[in-house]
Amino acid sequence: AAGELSFEERPGSLEAIGEAIEQCRKCPIGCLDNRAVMGEGPGDAALMIVGEQPGDQEDQEGRPFVGPAGQLLDVHLERAGIDRSRAYVTNAVKHFKFVQRGKRRLHQSPTAKEIDTCRWWIEGERELVQPKLVLAMGASAARGMLGKTVSISKVRGQAMSLEDGSELWVTAHPSYLLRLDGDAREKQAALFDADLAAVRERLA
Ligand code: URA
């Protein structure tokens, strides 16, 4: 769980966390040829949106959710009437995990242990931002918030509560939608939209 490894005292500002994660080598992902990608958005946002980890494009640009999954997320957020610029957008894991195949860097899922190690940082972000509601997208994000693995299909569509009283909503990851086509894609997109609409309602 978070804090099992000995970290220094947690930095007291988002900016300082951003600097600290750049130096973090507590798990093997931090030791790859990548950069840390810090969360982005207002430090007092009511909504915190959590993904898995930066992808190739996020690693290059140093910003969360700017690649294909981020573009799809933007479409759905807009449809739900959620203003991304008012949300704090971050990831459960702060560095891009990949294997190099020729010129391409292929995404690799983080292990539970890697996610749990990185909880040190996301808990710091959550303590500082104090969102009313956290939207965790995908199994890795849900683990990052809860410290245990849950089944998305079982827990989506309902409010859970985190120790500090904030609400946690879990939904699918937009990358999952990107991997589907046809009816399966439509069905999952509709479920994703329904989750976002519920979140929007809770924030109103
Ligand atoms: N996928 C994620 O989980 N996070 C990002 O920032 C980009 C893609």
User: What are 73-87's pLDDT values in tens digits?
Assistant: 999 999 999 999 999
The residue whose CB lies within 8 Å of the most ligand 1 atoms, and thus the one to mutate among 90, 94, 175, 177, is 175
Does position 3 have pLDDT exceeding 70, yes or no? no
Q: From the CA of 161, how far away is ligand 1's center (Å)?
A: 24
How much is the ipTM here? 0.93
Assess if residue 198 is contained within a domain: yes
Assess if residue 157 is contained within a domain: yes
pLDDT digits (tens, 9 = 90+) for 173-198: 999 999 999 999 999 999 999 999 99
What ligand 1 atom has the least distance to the C-alpha of 138?
A: 3
The response to whether residue 53 sits with its C-beta less than 6 Å from ligand 1 reads yes
Residue of 88, 55, 51, 92 lying closest to 73 (CA atoms): 51
> How does residue 115 score in pLDDT terms, banded at 50, 70 and 90?
very high
Assess if residue 5 is contained within a domain: no
At 96, give phi and psi (nearest 5°).
-80, 120
Q: From the CA of 55, how far away is ligand 1's center (Å)?
A: 6
Assess if residue 3 is contained within a domain: no
Specify the 3-state DSSP secondary structure of 120: helix
Q: Are strands 133-137 and 160-161 parallel, antiparallel or unpaired?
A: unpaired
Q: Model's pTM, two decimal places?
A: 0.96
Instruction: Give yes or no for a contact between 67 and 168, defined as CB atoms under 8 angstroms apart.
Output: no
Q: Say which CATH number the domain at 87 has.
A: 3.40.470.10
Does position 2 have pLDDT exceeding 80, yes or no? no
Choice among 1-10, 41-50, 91-100, 192-201 with the minimum mean pLDDT: 1-10
The response to whether residue 90 sits with its C-beta less than 6 Å from ligand 1 reads no
The response to whether residue 65 sits with its C-beta less than 6 Å from ligand 1 reads yes
The residue whose CB lies within 8 Å of the most ligand 1 atoms, and thus the one to mutate among 29, 35, 57, 58, is 58
Contacts for 161 with CB less than 8 Å, ≥ 6 apart: 167, 168
Q: Are strands 167-171 and 133-137 parallel, antiparallel or unpaired?
A: parallel
Q: From the CA of 100, how far away is ligand 1's center (Å)?
A: 18
What ligand 1 atom has the least distance to the C-alpha of 89?
A: 6
Assess if residue 139 is contained within a domain: yes
Helices 68-80 and 182-203, interaxial angle, to 10°?
A: 60
The response to whether residue 70 sits with its C-beta less than 6 Å from ligand 1 reads yes
Q: Tell me the C-alpha distance between 25 and 192, whole Å.
A: 34
> pLDDT value at position 7?
83
pLDDT digits (tens, 9 = 90+) for 137-175: 999 999 999 999 999 999 999 999 999 999 999 999 999
Domain that holds residue 123: 14-203
The response to whether residue 139 sits with its C-beta less than 6 Å from ligand 1 reads no
Assess if residue 7 is contained within a domain: no
Assess if residue 6 is contained within a domain: no
Count of structural domains, the chain: 1
pLDDT digits (tens, 9 = 90+) for 25-61: 999 999 999 999 999 999 999 999 999 999 999 999 9
Assess if residue 34 is contained within a domain: yes
